[in-house]
Amino acid sequence: MSKTALIEWEYEDNLDFDLTKGMFLASEIVYGVRMYPYVSINNDRYYLERTK
């Protein structure tokens, strides 16, 4: 059975850990604010990274 996860976005100011290069590459600027994508599984957040 396939499962999908909704990609959600978090403001840069709300992150409480150090960013990785991959997270920065996966981010987008929305209305002048840098946003970082993540998926939520069992109430844990997993931030997405991009390699290039």
- pLDDT, one tens digit per residue, over 26-49 is 999 999 999 999 999 999 999 999
Dist. CA 22–CA 40, nearest whole Å: 18
Q: Taking residues 2-9, what's their average pLDDT?
A: 88
Which residues, 6+ apart, have CB-to-CB distance to 41 below 8 Å?
Answer: 5
Residue 15 has pLDDT above 90, yes or no: no
- pLDDT number for residue 25: 96
Which residues, 6+ apart, have CB-to-CB distance to 8 below 8 Å?
Answer: 37, 38, 39, 40
Tokens representing 32 are 């002048």
- What does pTM read for this prediction? 0.80
